[in-house]
Amino acid sequence: MLKGQVAVVTGGSRGIGRAIVRKLAENGADVAILYAGNQKAAEETCTLLQGFSVRCGAYRCDVADFDATKKTVNEILKDFGKIDILVNNAGITRDGSIATMKEQDFDDVIRTNLKGSFHMIRNCCRHFLHQRSGRIINISSVAGLSGNVGQANYSSAKAGLIGLTKTVARELAGRGITCNAIAPGFIDTDMTRGMNEKARDAVVASIPMKRAGKPEDVANLAAFLAGDGAAYITGEVIRVDGGLCI
């Protein structure tokens, strides 16, 4: 279904990103993974793709650094020849109450989660325009739709990402490029495993489907948005949250 296509997935080494990489590869896409520092996890992800007969490349690149993303996108274009799908998934949390949140924690989350996505879109966009095709998928969050206590920085970044998604969708639609956002709810990854058990149980109890989401629940939608079936969908924000934010 995605045979011959090249996907770039930021934060593709672990969690939701890894599941997206796996699903895209299962559908035939070659994949370039960007990761922050955990080389072992990135290599493991590439190893997981053996058997799918696709290419996988892992690139250490801090998405918050514009020059680094520019260099990496150029490297990927050199290595793979083109880019068809960009998934902006890299993200971090630095939770804290608004009354005590450090400025640095606000800035770090905005720089990685929001600016990082801008950097990648900015650096891939000329190639997409030239190619007259491209799929951009931004991983936002239900926190960007509804807010979340203790996540002023994260909610701001994820809400910003929705604005970015809609603007990019409008600007690039005429050239056959789509841009959509996925808003996951509570997904079982390293990011949420850090929570204490009581808080975790309380969140799960508040989800109508009574379970945490799996990374694959998000990956299935990402693969759909990257495929032919989603050619006429752009500027959309789709929740994958088991009903959490109905």
The least distance separating ligand NDP from the CB of residue 176, rounded to whole angstroms, comes to 26
CB-nearer residue toward ligand NDP: 175 or 214: 214
Structure tokens at 88: 């902006």
Task: Map residue 65 onto helix, strand or coil.
Answer: coil
Contacts of 40 (CB under 8 A, 6+ apart): none
CB-nearer residue toward ligand NDP: 129 or 204: 204
CB 68 within 8 A of CB 90: no
d(CA 187, CA 193) in angstroms, rounded, equals 9
Residue with tokens 């490349």: 57
Q: Give the other-Cβ count within 10 Å of 137's Cβ.
A: 25
Is 35 designated active site?
no
Task: Map residue 213 onto helix, strand or coil.
Answer: strand
**Which one is catalytic: 35, 59, 154, 232?**
154
The least distance separating ligand NDP from the CB of residue 4, rounded to whole angstroms, comes to 26
The least distance separating ligand NDP from the CB of residue 3, rounded to whole angstroms, comes to 25
What is the contact surface with ligand NDP in residues (CB under 6 A)? 10-11, 13-17, 34-38, 41, 61-64, 89-92, 112-113, 139, 141, 184, 186-187, 189-192
Structure tokens at 143: 């926190």
The least distance separating ligand NDP from the CB of residue 73, rounded to whole angstroms, comes to 13
Structure tokens at 244: 């959490």
Residue numbers annotated as active site: 154
